[in-house]
Chains A and B, each alone.
Chain A
Amino acid sequence: MSDPKPAAPFAPPKELKAFPNDRQLCIARFSPCGNFLAAGAMEGTVRRWKVVEKPKLTVDIALPDETAKKPAPKAAKKPEESPVELVPLPHLTGFNGWVQNIAFHPKDKILFVADTWGKLAATDIEGDAPKPRWENATAHDGWIRKLAISPDGRHLATCGRDQFVRIWTTAGKLVAEHRAEEDVFAVTFAPEGKVVAFGDLKGTITMWDFEAKQLGRKFDAAVLHKLSRLQNVAGLRVLTFSADGKTLLAGGCEPAGGGFVEGAPALLRFDVATGKQLSEWRFGVAKDGFVLDAASHPDGYLVLVTSGQPGSGKIMFLRPGEKEPFFTNTAVANCHSVTLHPDGKRFAVAAMNKASNGNGRQLTKDGQYLGNNSPVHLFEIPTAQG
C-alpha cells in the first residue's frame, strides 16, 4: 500500500457470483498470473479453481411500447452472467488439521502451504495432481499461524503457536529462527525483504532483521489483547507494510471479553521510523469481531474484510489518510479472507453460509448433521468510467 492517489469517482463493487463450496475456508489467494484461485480449508486440503474468463455477452432486447403516454425505454439489459467462472480443480491433499495459510510465489508457479499441525510445503500450481516440490512436516511444533513470502520471492516467514518465528528459503531451507515470548499470530515482510515484523498474543509487534539476527523496534498494539478471566484473547490477526515500508498496519480486534469473543474490528497504523502510532480505526461495534485479512489495491487503498458473531461481516475499502472506509458491504456473512486479482479489477472473499450457528441438535429433514461451508464471493470493481 502506498500513499493514496487522489480519490477518483467511485462506483461500488458488484458481486459477480458466489461460488459454492462444501467446506469452510480459512484463506483464499489468487495466483500472480491471475489464472488460479487457491484456498486453504478447515480439513487439511487446498481447494483450487481455474479462473476462466468468458466472452462478455450483453444482449440488447427491444421492449414493446405498451402505453402511449409513457415513453418506451429504448432497451433493457438482460441480467449479465458472471464474465468469470471459477472452475474447480482437484484438491491438494496431504495436509493435516486446517490449512490456514497459503502463499503464491510472486514470479514462479509455486504455491506454499502451511497447516495447523506444523507442516510447511511447496507445490506446483498447475495440473490435476501438481508435483510437490518439498515439504517439512515439522516446520513448527503445531499450529502455523501465518505464512508470508518476501516480495522478491527469496524467503518465507512462518510463525506459530510454538512461539517461534522462522525464516526459510523458498527451497525450504531454514535460514533463521527467533523464539518469541508468546504465541505469535502474525508475520509480514518489509518491502525490501530483509526484515520482518511479527506480532504476538499480547499485541507486541517486533521488527526482526533476520539477516543480521537482530531484533529491532517494537510497536505497542496491546489494545488488541485482553485477559478475560482465564482467557488471553488475542486480537491481532494481520500485519502489512505500506509499499514504501514507512508505515506498518496491524489489524484485528479490540476484544471486549472472552468466550463469545466480542470486540470491534480495529486497524492500527504505525510509523516505522519512530514506532509511534499514527492512527487507529474501529470498524463497528462489539459483535463485528476481527479484521481478518487485508489486501493492498494498486490504487493505494486497502481492501479489508471482517468477521464477528455469526452473520456479521464486512468488506471495506479504506484509504489510509481517511477516517472512514469509502465503501462498506455488509451483505456477505463472516468474511474470513480477501484476495485481489492481479489486474486490480476483481477480488474474491471467502465467507460463510448464513445461519451458521445454533445450540444443540440441528438436523436436516433426512436426519443429517451438516457442517457449515464457505462460498467464495467474486466481486468486480468497476472502472472510474463505470
Chain B
Amino acid sequence: MNPLCKPWEHAASRRQFLGASAGTLAFGALGGMISPQAAEAMRKKEKQVLFVWLDGGMSQLESWDPKPNTEFGGPFRSIKTTVPGTHFSELMPQSAKQAHRLCVVRSICTKDNAHSSGVARIQRGDPKNRGVPYPFFGSAIAKLMGPTSSKLPPYVWVKPGSGGFKTEDAGFLGPKYGSLAFGDGKPPEDLLRHASLTADEDAERNELRELLNRRYAAQRRPTYTEASSFVFDTAQELMKRANIFDTSKLAAKELDRYGRTEIGQHMLVARNMLEAGVRFVKVGSYGWDTHGDNFNGSASLVPKFDRAFAAIVEDLAATGLLEHTLVIAMSEFGRTPRINGHVGRDHWPEAWSIAMAGCGLKAGAVVGATNDKGTFVKDPGYDIGAVFHTWFQALGIDTKKVEYDNNGQPLPLAHDDMQSIKEALV
C-alpha cells in the first residue's frame, strides 16, 4: 500500500460505486446493488422534477446566503463548501458537501410579501395577468410532459397533514393536472384490494365502479370526470408499488442519513417515487414562518432540511438520476434582514435564494449576489418569472416556442417580459 494513502481511501462506498458505475455499466450488471426502479428510470432518462417547498419562508441568511459578522448576519458562522469561495450557513453542513452539485441563485427579487397571495403567486410563476389562474409548476409539467412511461401519476405531493387530489394547483389547465397528495407521506387507504377479497371479486367490484362512474360522468362536465378517472387509474398504478411508501425496511444508517424527521422520511418517499418514475414529486414542509425566535428556530429547522436535501441530492447523483432530474428547494420568499423585537425575521421578497441541482443546470454555480449586509440584490436580480423560464429550459421546454392553449387562447408558459437565467443553465 502506498504509505501516503490511508486505508479508507481505497474503500469505495456503495454510493460512490453506483455513481461511478452509472455512466459505464449496464444496470442489469449491477444485480441487487441498485433498485430495479432506479435502474429502469436511469435507462429511460426521462426528465423528472423534485420540488422541495419550505412553506412560510426559510431565511436566506441562515442557509444559502450567510452574512456572518454583519449588522443583520445573526449569531451563526458560515462554513466552506465543496465549491471554493462559496460559503453556506453553519446550519447546512451536509448541503455544503453537495455544493459542487448545486446551482444557487442568491439574487431572487420578487414582489409579494404575504403568504396568502405569495404562495400561489410564486408557484404559478407570477406571469402577466391574463384573467386566468396559471397552473403551479407541478401542474404545468404534468400537462406539458405528462406521466413518464411508468404510467405513474405525473404530479405527486408528499406533504404533512391531509392528502387527496388537489385540483386548485392546476389553474386553467383543468383538474386533471392537479396534484395527488399523500398526507403524512402515507398511501391512501382502501385503494388496493383488501386481503379478504379474491381477484375475481375485486374485478367485479371494479366493473361496478366503472359502470357507476360512467353514469355519473354522463351528467357532468367531462373535465371533472376525466380527472377523477385519470387520478384513480394512475394512483392505482402507484399503489401497485406499495413499497414506495415503506421506509421501514431500510437500513438504520439510511434512515439516519435522511434524518428520522418528517422531512427526512418524506424525502425518502420522494426518492422512491422518483426512482419509480413519477414525473414531478413535490415535498412540502410547514413551519418555516419564523417571525419569532428565528435563530433558535432555524437551528432546529434548517439542519433537518439540510440533512434530507443533501441525502437525496447525493443519492440522485449516485444513481445517475440527477442527470435528468431537476431539483429545486425554495419558499415563497426569504426573511427580513432586520431582526424584530421577538428575535425573529419577517417576510422579505427583496433578496433571497433558491437552490437547484440537476438536469440542464450548471453544477457548482452561485448566480447573483446580495450586498454586504444582505439587504438587497446587487444587480437587478431575478423575479420568479425568470426562474420559471430557467426551469422549463432546463427540462428542454423552449418557452419561446411552446405555449399553453387555454380553449383557443394562447398563453405563454412564463412571464412574457422575462428570460431564463443564462448563468444557471448549462
What is A's interface to B at a CB cutoff of 8 Å?
A: 23-24, 42-44, 96-98, 100, 116-117, 142-143, 161, 183, 228-234, 258-262, 289, 307-313, 333-334, 352-353, 356-362, 369-372
Are A371 and B72 also in contact (CB < 8 A) when A233-B300, A289-B342, A352-B341 are?
A: yes
Query: Least Cβ distance of B309 to chain A in Å?
Result: 13
Known: A97-B69, A258-B297, A369-B337. A228 touches B342 (CB 8 A): no
Query: Given A96-B69, A233-B293, A258-B297: A357 and B75 within 8 A (CB)?
Result: no
In the complex formed, the residue of A with least CB distance to B348 is: A360
A258 in contact with B337 given A97-B74, A116-B76 (CB within 8 Å): no
What 0/1 pattern do residues 339 to 377 of B give for CB contact below 8 A with A?
A: 111111011111000000000000000000000000110
A307/B342 in contact, CB under 8 A: yes
Given contacts A309-B291, A309-B342, A360-B113, 15 further A-B contacts (CB under 8 A): A42-B74, A96-B69, A98-B75, A116-B75, A116-B76, A231-B301, A233-B296, A261-B342, A261-B344, A307-B343, A310-B340, A333-B341, A357-B344, A358-B346, A360-B348
Residues of B within 8 A of A311 (CB): 341
User: Which one of B9-17, B194-202, B267-275, B280-288 is at the A interface?
Assistant: B280-288
Is B146 part of the contact surface with A, judged by Cβ < 8 Å?
A: no
Say which residue of B293, B301, B375 sits within 8 Å of A369 (CB atoms). Answer: B375
**B68 is an interface residue with CB less than 8 A from chain A:** yes
Q: Name the distance in Å between B262's Cβ and chain A's nearest Cβ.
A: 6
Nearest A-chain residue to B308, judged by Cβ: A230
B304 with A357: CB separation less than 8 A: no
| A-B residue pairs, 8 tightest by C-beta | A334-B341, A116-B75, A261-B292, A360-B113, A229-B287, A357-B340, A359-B347, A352-B341
B299 lies within 8 A of chain A by Cβ: yes
Task: List the A residue with the shortest CB-CB distance to B350.
Answer: A361
A161 to B71, alpha carbons, bound, how many Å?
A: 22
> Which chain B residues border A24 with CB–CB below 8 Å?
339
Quick one: which of A259, A308, A353 contacts B290, CB cutoff 8 A? A259
Would you list which residues of chain B between 35 and 86 have a CB under 8 Å from chain A? 56, 68-69, 71-77
Point out which of B56, B297, B337, B350 has the most chain A C-beta atoms below 10 A from its C-beta: B297
**Shortest distance in angstroms between A209's beta carbon and chain B's nearest beta carbon?**
29
List the A side residues contacting B69 at CB < 8 Å: 43-44, 96-97
CA distance A372 to B340 in the complex (A): 7
Q: How far is the CA of A353 from the CA of B340 in the complex (A)?
A: 9
CB atoms of A234 and B344 under 8 A apart: no
Beta-carbon contact of A231 and B339 below 8 Å: no
Indicate if the CB atoms of A230 and B299 lie closer than 8 Å.
Answer: no
In contact, A360 and B347 (Cβ under 8 angstroms): yes
Q: Which chain A residue lies CB-closest to B297?
A: A231
Q: Choose among A233, A261, A357 the residue that contacts B346 (Cβ–Cβ < 8 A).
A: A357
Q: CB-CB < 8 A to B296: which residues of A?
A: 233-234
Q: Is the pair B299, A97 in contact by a Cβ cutoff of 8 Å?
A: no
Task: Say which residue of A183, A261, A362, A370 sits within 8 Å of B293 (CB atoms).
Answer: A261
Answer whether A307 and B341 are a contact pair too, CB < 8 Å, given A229-B286, A259-B291: yes
Task: Please give me the residue from chain A that is nearest to B262 by CB atom.
Answer: A230
Instruction: Tell whether, in the assembled complex, residue B344 and residue A258 are in contact, meaning their CB atoms are under 8 Å apart.
Output: no
Question: Given that A230-B301, A357-B344 are known contacts, is A97 also in contact with B339, CB under 8 Å in the complex?
Answer: no
Residues of chain B with a CB closer than 8 A to A357's CB:
291, 340-342, 344, 346
- Tell me whether B151 is interfacial, beta carbon within 8 Å: no
Could you tell me the distance in whole angstroms from the C-beta of A146 to the nearest C-beta in chain B? 13
**Docked CA distance A313–B342 (Å):** 10
Asked whether B314 is an interface residue with its Cβ less than 8 Å from the other chain, the reply is: no
Interface size class of B (residues with CB under 8 A): 35 or more
7 CB-based A-B contacts, threshold 8 Å: A42-B339, A44-B69, A231-B301, A358-B336, A359-B113, A360-B349, A370-B338
- Contact at A231–B348, with CB atoms within 8 Å? no
Contact status A183-B299, CB under 8 Å: yes
**B160 at interface, CB cutoff 8 A:** yes
Does A309 lie within 8 Å of B300, measured CB to CB? no
Residue of A nearest to B114 (CB): A359
A231–B291 CA distance with the chains assembled, in angstroms: 13
Are A259 and B297 in contact, CB atoms less than 8 angstroms apart?
Answer: yes
Report the bound CA distance from A189 to B114 in whole Å. Answer: 46
- Chain A hits for B301, CB < 8 A: 230-231, 258
The answer for the CA separation of A106 and B340 in the assembled complex, in Å, is 33
**Which residue in chain A gives the minimum CB-CB distance to B113?**
A360
Q: How far is the CA of A369 from the CA of B90 in the complex (A)?
A: 26
Chain A residues positioned under 8 Å from B160 (CB to CB): 229
Q: Provide the residues of chain A in CB contact with B75, threshold 8 Å.
A: 42, 97-98, 100, 116-117, 143
Contact B76 A43 (CB under 8 A): no
Write out the residue numbers on chain B whose beta carbons fall within 8 Å of the beta carbon of A362. 338
Cβ-based interface call for B383 (8 A): no
Residue of A nearest to B293 (CB): A261
Min CB distance, A147 to chain B, in Å?
Answer: 14
**Contact pick for B342, options A142, A308, A360, A371, CB 8 Å:** A308
B287 touches A230 (CB 8 A): yes
The answer, yes or no, to whether B247 is at the interface (CB within 8 Å) is no
Chain B residues, CB < 8 A from A259: 56, 287-292, 297
Please indicate the chain B residues that have their CB under 8 angstroms from the CB of A356 in the complex. Answer: 338, 340-341
CB distance from B29 to the nearest CB of A (A): 40
A311 to B76, CA, bound (A): 25
Tell me if B336 and A43 are in contact (CB < 8 A): no
Residues of chain A with a CB closer than 8 A to B285's CB: 229-230
Of B71, B261, B336, B341, which is within 8 A of A359 by CB? B336
B321 an interface residue at 8 Å Cβ cutoff?
no
In the complex the two chains form, is A231's CB within 8 Å of B300's CB?
Answer: yes
Interface residues in B324-338 (C-beta closer than 8 Å to A): 336-338
Give Cα A307 to B69, complex, Å: 24
Residues of A within 8 A of B347 (CB): 359-360
CB distance from A284 to the nearest CB of B (A): 14
A371 to B338, CA, bound (A): 5
**Please, how many angstroms separate the alpha-carbon atoms of A98 and B69 in the complex?**
8
Q: How far is the CB of B76 from chain A (nearest CB, A)?
A: 7
Q: Is B119 an interface residue (CB 8 A)?
A: no
What is the bound-complex CA distance between A308 and B299, given in angstroms?
Answer: 19
Indicate if B244 sits at the interface (CB-CB under 8 A).
no
B105 contacts A by Cβ under 8 Å? no
**B298 to A, closest residue via Cβ:** A231
The reply to whether the CB of B263 lies closer than 8 angstroms to some CB of chain A is: yes
| Contact status A310-B341, CB under 8 Å | yes
Contacting pair B71 A260 (CB below 8 A): no
Q: Are B291 and A260 in contact (CB under 8 A)?
A: yes
- Chain A contacts for B286, CB-based, 8 A: 229-230
